[in-house]
Structure 1
Amino acid sequence: MGLLVGLVLTVIGFFLSVLAFVLWIWMLIDCLKNEPSVGNDKIIWALVIIFLNGIGALIYYLVRRPERIKQTGQ
Protein backbone atom coordinates (compact mmCIF):
# COMPACT_ATOMS: atom_id res chain seq x y z
CA MET A 1 0.00 0.00 0.00
CA GLY A 2 2.79 2.43 0.90
CA LEU A 3 4.56 1.68 -2.37
CA LEU A 4 1.40 2.48 -4.34
CA VAL A 5 0.94 5.80 -2.56
CA GLY A 6 4.58 6.69 -3.22
CA LEU A 7 4.19 5.83 -6.90
CA VAL A 8 1.03 7.92 -7.24
CA LEU A 9 2.68 10.90 -5.55
CA THR A 10 5.72 10.53 -7.81
CA VAL A 11 3.55 10.50 -10.93
CA ILE A 12 1.58 13.53 -9.73
CA GLY A 13 4.81 15.37 -8.93
CA PHE A 14 6.19 14.53 -12.37
CA PHE A 15 3.11 15.88 -14.15
CA LEU A 16 3.12 19.06 -12.05
CA SER A 17 6.80 19.56 -12.87
CA VAL A 18 6.13 19.12 -16.59
CA LEU A 19 3.21 21.58 -16.43
CA ALA A 20 5.36 24.14 -14.58
CA PHE A 21 8.11 23.75 -17.20
CA VAL A 22 5.62 24.17 -20.07
CA LEU A 23 4.20 27.31 -18.41
CA TRP A 24 7.74 28.67 -17.94
CA ILE A 25 8.68 28.12 -21.60
CA TRP A 26 5.33 29.49 -22.83
CA MET A 27 5.60 32.70 -20.77
CA LEU A 28 9.24 33.23 -21.72
CA ILE A 29 8.41 32.91 -25.42
CA ASP A 30 5.32 35.11 -24.99
CA CYS A 31 7.38 37.78 -23.26
CA LEU A 32 10.20 37.76 -25.79
CA LYS A 33 7.84 37.69 -28.76
CA ASN A 34 4.99 40.03 -27.76
CA GLU A 35 6.28 42.40 -25.08
CA PRO A 36 6.84 45.90 -26.52
CA SER A 37 10.50 46.90 -26.81
CA VAL A 38 9.88 50.33 -25.28
CA GLY A 39 12.26 50.93 -22.39
CA ASN A 40 13.55 47.97 -20.44
CA ASP A 41 10.23 46.21 -19.80
CA LYS A 42 10.95 43.26 -22.07
CA ILE A 43 14.40 42.65 -20.56
CA ILE A 44 13.18 43.03 -16.98
CA TRP A 45 10.24 40.67 -17.47
CA ALA A 46 12.41 38.11 -19.25
CA LEU A 47 14.89 38.20 -16.35
CA VAL A 48 12.06 37.84 -13.82
CA ILE A 49 10.76 34.79 -15.69
CA ILE A 50 14.23 33.26 -16.05
CA PHE A 51 15.49 33.80 -12.50
CA LEU A 52 12.24 33.12 -10.63
CA ASN A 53 11.36 30.11 -12.80
CA GLY A 54 7.77 28.92 -12.27
CA ILE A 55 6.90 31.69 -9.84
CA GLY A 56 8.19 34.33 -12.26
CA ALA A 57 6.20 32.80 -15.11
CA LEU A 58 3.09 32.73 -12.95
CA ILE A 59 3.59 36.39 -11.92
CA TYR A 60 4.01 37.37 -15.58
CA TYR A 61 0.90 35.39 -16.57
CA LEU A 62 -1.29 36.86 -13.82
CA VAL A 63 0.03 40.44 -13.68
CA ARG A 64 1.70 41.64 -16.86
CA ARG A 65 0.18 39.55 -19.63
CA PRO A 66 -3.46 40.72 -19.12
CA GLU A 67 -2.25 44.33 -18.87
CA ARG A 68 -0.23 43.99 -22.10
CA ILE A 69 -3.15 42.38 -23.92
CA LYS A 70 -5.42 45.23 -22.81
CA GLN A 71 -2.89 47.86 -23.97
CA THR A 72 -1.71 46.36 -27.26
CA GLY A 73 -4.25 43.67 -28.11
CA GLN A 74 -1.52 41.02 -28.33
Structure 2
Amino acid sequence: MGSTFNGLVGLIILALDIWAIISVARSSSSTGAKILWIVLILLLPVVGLIIWAIAGPRGNPRV
Protein backbone atom coordinates (compact mmCIF):
# COMPACT_ATOMS: atom_id res chain seq x y z
CA MET A 1 0.00 0.00 0.00
CA GLY A 2 2.78 2.45 0.88
CA SER A 3 4.69 2.01 -2.35
CA THR A 4 1.52 2.48 -4.39
CA PHE A 5 0.79 5.74 -2.59
CA ASN A 6 4.39 6.92 -3.02
CA GLY A 7 4.24 6.09 -6.72
CA LEU A 8 1.02 8.06 -7.11
CA VAL A 9 2.48 11.07 -5.32
CA GLY A 10 5.56 10.85 -7.55
CA LEU A 11 3.41 10.82 -10.69
CA ILE A 12 1.42 13.82 -9.47
CA ILE A 13 4.62 15.76 -8.76
CA LEU A 14 5.99 14.81 -12.19
CA ALA A 15 2.79 15.98 -13.90
CA LEU A 16 2.84 19.28 -11.98
CA ASP A 17 6.52 19.83 -12.82
CA ILE A 18 5.84 19.26 -16.52
CA TRP A 19 2.89 21.67 -16.35
CA ALA A 20 5.08 24.29 -14.60
CA ILE A 21 7.84 23.94 -17.21
CA ILE A 22 5.34 24.37 -20.05
CA SER A 23 3.88 27.41 -18.29
CA VAL A 24 7.33 28.94 -17.87
CA ALA A 25 8.18 28.30 -21.53
CA ARG A 26 4.96 30.05 -22.62
CA SER A 27 5.48 33.06 -20.35
CA SER A 28 6.57 36.43 -21.65
CA SER A 29 9.70 36.48 -19.45
CA SER A 30 13.18 36.80 -20.89
CA THR A 31 14.98 33.71 -22.13
CA GLY A 32 17.45 33.85 -19.24
CA ALA A 33 14.67 33.96 -16.65
CA LYS A 34 12.90 31.05 -18.34
CA ILE A 35 16.07 28.94 -18.29
CA LEU A 36 16.68 29.70 -14.60
CA TRP A 37 13.11 28.75 -13.65
CA ILE A 38 13.24 25.53 -15.67
CA VAL A 39 16.59 24.54 -14.14
CA LEU A 40 15.22 25.27 -10.64
CA ILE A 41 12.14 23.13 -11.28
CA LEU A 42 14.24 20.28 -12.69
CA LEU A 43 16.85 20.28 -9.91
CA LEU A 44 14.41 20.73 -7.03
CA PRO A 45 11.12 19.21 -8.20
CA VAL A 46 9.03 19.82 -5.07
CA VAL A 47 10.69 22.97 -3.70
CA GLY A 48 11.12 24.44 -7.18
CA LEU A 49 7.44 23.84 -7.92
CA ILE A 50 6.39 25.60 -4.71
CA ILE A 51 8.70 28.56 -5.36
CA TRP A 52 7.47 28.79 -8.96
CA ALA A 53 3.83 28.72 -7.79
CA ILE A 54 4.49 31.64 -5.45
CA ALA A 55 6.86 33.83 -7.45
CA GLY A 56 7.28 32.41 -10.94
CA PRO A 57 6.37 33.90 -14.30
CA ARG A 58 2.87 33.32 -15.53
CA GLY A 59 1.97 31.98 -18.97
CA ASN A 60 0.12 34.05 -21.50
CA PRO A 61 -3.58 33.72 -20.77
CA ARG A 62 -5.71 32.41 -23.60
CA VAL A 63 -8.39 34.86 -24.57
TM-score category of the 2 structures, normalised to the smaller one: 0.7 to 0.9
TM-score using structure 2 length: 0.73
Matches within 5 A, 1:1-74: 8-37=1-30, 40-65=32-57, 68=58, 74=61
Runs of 4+ with deviation above 4 angstroms: none
**Which structure dedicates a bigger proportion of its chain to helix?**
1
Larger Cα-atom Rg: 1
CA RMSD of aligned residues (A): 2.1
Say which SS state the counterpart of residue 40 (structure 1) adopts. helix
Percentage identity across paired residues of the two chains:
21
Say which SS state the counterpart of residue 56 (structure 2) adopts. helix
Which residues of structure 1 form unaligned runs of 5+?
1-7
In the alignment, the residues of structure 2 paired with residue 15 and residue 49 of structure 1 have an alpha-carbon distance, to the nearest angstrom, of 19
Q: Is the 8 A contact 1:45 1:60 kept in 2?
A: yes
Work out the number of aligned pairs and report it.
61
